[in-house]
Structure 1
């Protein structure tokens, strides 16, 4: 049975109505398979607020949708990754949070709040953090054979490589293989990364950011990129699926709750954030979907098998050369976007 909410699913409310006998609704715009159904059900049961869960498969798609609807009102909560919080905040696409309506903010890891992407967390609250690294099928590839991003260019993997459908992540690996920062804004470096990635394209079988574990589970790909939580979930059905922190440096990201400007029900959004910040709820989410919680009290409640799993909770050695993605600015983004379109169309 599928444990997670799927695109467009309106979950049936279990209790409660508003004072006007009209049920309150929370429109949650999130990555697919990124919120356990049990959490949604329990929130509805305790608050009487119906959750309508709609999904996207990339930050670019989420951003474009919210920008298109910036003058309208459709979503109450979204979950942009790291640098998109800064981008959306700067463009006036987000509503400022009322921290007096949020309980549990003080439980968050000090290293993951008050970042440059959102000083004082005026517009965002951390939800989960994780990494994008290498994956391989241990039944067909020997351990130790894949240790670097650069290994993806090995001709023996031609036609068997999986990449996420994420422009910045894909260019990140091209840049790191060349020795550059994954946050480069240098047009020449971005061009070089594009040229390097064109050499990889004959090996690429698919792009997938909807459920990146599936190409491995379905035998479509043997090696490539994956999010660490997807690797954890994938191991439930495919124990041979291995996760590797590449030597050039893993991609690190932080996904956060934000309230879009003109959200129809910001009060429900604040209630949901507070609900998730409860330690037992944050712990449940981390255990269910394999990503690391920023909630320090929740970490104390984790099952030992989860807390000690380096795929979800990396050791210090795993984070050598790790790099958070940063906002590269509109000029650089236009360059990335142009090359990304050329890369995917083969022109």
Structure 2
């Protein structure tokens, strides 16, 4: 055997030893293939302490894999390479996965605590009767502003077009969300597929362009917390984290309405550990656990008894738990055709090219 061959063999031996050692360690801890739950989730979207509590309480080992977009999650599950036991898609993606037959129906008879979920978060258009999904978190798209840097509170989407905010506004790098801002400002549905309506929404955004400081994602938090921008378009949960770090920040849902989004737990059709999946669903339905998760994440819980356990300043904040009157003005995204999605993306890219 030549030198290269000996090196290769040595590497293979080491890798085998490491793999065997890992397997033996998992066995010694009681972890086997049969008692492992594989959760496919957004990054940092569950309190790690709850994972440990679930493992200790049930004996299951939780393996968490993360994704950064609904589309990436959909592709991975559709390919079927990994048998995820639970995933956390958003509303329009649940509809798409349901239509593509990628989900197992949820047996409500195996759920304990389903009655804890508020009726406003059940039986939505993307999953009638919640046949395939269980609400996890919900929230809104809105405006965050710094009271030290603006003359008066912002209450309307139209405020974003004010010349007072030239070069001061941060917006999220999301075609669907920013096109929604233009659509709502024009009095249109956030699910419109009419080419002329979408073009008009993009034209409306173009008029805002002089006010836009940057189109970014997570960087919005840094800019707003450090007083480097006065206004931003962002999601309620992201805003909650910013407000915790800067007392001069405020989050509002514009009076014209906005997007109401849902992230739900689903069981992919390729799931191998249904018993573990239901154990986790029931664990997360417990009010104490749901409240702990909501405090850690910052988004709104659909679990009504859990909401009652949150600090008064949180549960009474209209930015995170808006009144029914406000909720009635919110719109939920529908799954759009590939052609429509492409049109949204192309128009938003045209808007982005101005920066």
Q: Do both share a fold (TM > 0.5)?
A: yes
Q: Which range is displaced more, 226-235 or 119-128?
A: 226-235
Q: CA deviation at 1:112?
A: 1.7
Whether 1:54 aligns to 2:59 is no
Aligned residue in 2 for 1:335? 343
Q: CA deviation at 1:106?
A: 2.3
Aligned residue in 2 for 1:129? 138
Q: Secondary structure at the match of 2:271?
A: coil
Q: Secondary structure at the match of 1:324?
A: coil
Count of aligned pairs: 330
Whether 1:17 aligns to 2:26 is no
Q: CA deviation at 1:28?
A: 2.2
Preserved contact between residue 23 and residue 50 of structure 1 (Cα < 8 Å): no
> 161, 182, 185: which one pairs with 1:177?
185
The 3 A distance-change label for structure 1 pair 111 and 321 is closer
Whether 1:292 aligns to 2:303 is no
The 3 A distance-change label for structure 1 pair 331 and 90 is same
Preserved contact between residue 94 and residue 123 of structure 1 (Cα < 8 Å): yes
Aligned residue in 2 for 1:8? none
Matches within 5 A, 1:232-243: 232-243=240-251
Q: Distance in 2 between matches of 1:79 and 1:211?
A: 23
Q: TM-score scaled to structure 1, two decimals?
A: 0.85
Structure 1 unaligned regions, length at least 5: 1-11
Q: Secondary structure at the match of 2:309?
A: coil
Whether 1:205 aligns to 2:245 is no
> 37, 46, 49: which one pairs with 1:26?
37
Q: CA deviation at 1:120?
A: 2.1
Whether 1:44 aligns to 2:49 is no
Q: Distance in 1 between matches of 2:218 and 2:67?
A: 8
Q: TM-score scaled to structure 2, two decimals?
A: 0.83
Q: CA deviation at 1:238?
A: 0.7
Q: CA deviation at 1:346?
A: 4.9
Provide the aligned C-alpha RMSD in A.
2.6
In the TM superposition, what whole-angstrom CA distance separates every residue of 1:222-251 from its partner, at most 9, and x where no partner exists? 212121122222112111111112122122
The 3 A distance-change label for structure 1 pair 129 and 212 is farther
Structure possessing the higher radius of gyration over alpha carbons: 2
Q: CA deviation at 1:207?
A: 3.6
Q: Distance in 1 between matches of 2:45 and 2:215?
A: 19
Q: CA deviation at 1:22?
A: 5.2
In the TM superposition, what whole-angstrom CA distance separates every residue of 1:39-83 from its partner, at most 9, and x where no partner exists? 12211221233333333333334334433x3x3224332222222
